[in-house]
Amino acid sequence: MEPVITRTLILLVLVTISTAAPLQDAAVEDGGTSPAAPDRCGGVEFDAIAPNEKGNTLFFKGDHVWNGFTGPAQLSSLHFKELSGPINAAFRMHNTENPNDHDHIYLFQDDKVYSYFNQTLEEGYPKQIQEDFPGVPTHLDAAVECPKGECMADSVLFFKGQDVHVYDIATKAVKTKTWSHLPSCTSAFRWLEHYYCFHGQNFTRFHPVSGEVTGAYPKDARHYFMNCPNFGHGGDRKPLKCSNIKLNAATTDDGGRTYFFAGPIYIRVDTHRDGFHAFPITRAWKEANDGVDAVFSYDSKMYLIKGDQVYIYKADAHFTLIEGYPKTVKEELGIEGTVDAAFVCPTENIAHIIQGNSMRDVDLTATPRVISREFPLPLSDIDAGLCGDDGIRLFKGSQFYYYESPRILAMGRIAPVASDITSALMGCED
């Protein structure tokens, strides 16, 4: 499933693809009209695709660029004035350790590279590609950023023919792979942690480390990445009302990625600038069919609880089920009965398990794991729990209860006033 969710999940999609403000019609230069702007709904083969520093997706074709998933094309030179003619590739830099480069947009043209920030060309550019990216060939076909956690290190994937040159941003080392099973990419795009090779008017989703392609591909981009007449794009769908939200689980992993689970889908809520979007749980956690009851993260692992089973995944570059799992909740955590919610707070080793109107603490450093403490709660029927540096949120329907710490939660005898889930928290419609 791609950026459009299947019809059975329409009501669970929390936000449709975010759209940037469309650019104005192609401008006049030297008193005459610009060359005819291409129509992406006519089946355009893009030269390059990349998000800008604000998260708006730029689609390049010839002398033109589209800003966002809808709207007309405009001459690219009006926004990148030093640029003349089509580009070969583009990507947005992910390099948080170097703020002078992070979020800059790199545009590649023949043997040169341009670096822009807020549509301003950085001093010293354009440069020879080899000067900025040693070991990377010229006349590229495509490029896409790959942050650590999705690749083994902050990297850029450069495509030329069937070869993929993996450039390590920190070490400047280049490893070349040949992915002959993948179509020749004329552009590549990372969107919400998923990677797409565009070829012709179609695209193929691939794994950024192995190049593996799973699912039925290619697919027509006009069904997914733009709003075109007579194509099944999701742009007409309405975001779910915040008042209709009902979660099953929530967690933040050691990499700072926050996930909300609802039925058979999940969304990332820490990637605001890329928009909120729902995906099937089986996309990331293949064995967790039909949803989960509770989730918590601990020691670079994610624990998914479903019925009386616990699935534990390594939360490294990609989620991998640990050998020997699933196991029973009793065997793994010393807990009997169904679990309503669970959470682990940062820097703690305690899994707080909520069952009915009780909270049971399990020391995750103990062997075997057993219930170490038990507390009554002034709440029941909790759907999900999430603990961060700013405190605890216990979700129930479309509201949540806030506590400053597990200690205050355990000592409380009167439930606090519930707060409504808002668009700021989940991207739903207030």
Distance (Å, rounded) from C-alpha 415 to C-alpha 382? 12
Q: CA-CA distance, 423 to 12, in Å (whole number)?
A: 15
Q: For residue 47, give both structure tokens.
A: 């030269």
DSSP state of 408: H
Is 272 annotated as a binding-site member? no
Amino acid at 104: H
Q: What is the DSSP letter of 11?
A: G
233 annotated as ligand-binding: yes
Please state, in angstroms and rounded to a whole number, the distance separating the CA atoms of residues 406 and 19.
Answer: 40
Q: Which amino acid is at 325?
A: Y
Which strand (E) or helix (H) includes residue 423?
helix 423-426
- Torsion angles phi and psi, residue 223, rounded to 5: -85, -15
Burial label for 290, CB within 10 Å (0-12, 13-18, 19+), is exposed
Partners of 372 in beta bridges: none
User: Using CA atoms, how far apart are residues 92 and 369, in angstroms rounded to an integer?
Assistant: 45
Residue 67: other Cβ atoms inside 10 A? 21
Distance (Å, whole) CA 276 – CA 193: 12
Instruction: Determine how many CB atoms are found less than 10 A away from the CB of residue 87.
Output: 26
Q: Are 81 and 120 in contact (CB under 8 A)?
A: no
Closest CA to 382 of 403, 404, 407: 403
Which residues are part of a known binding site for heme? 233, 277
Which residues are part of a known binding site? 233, 277
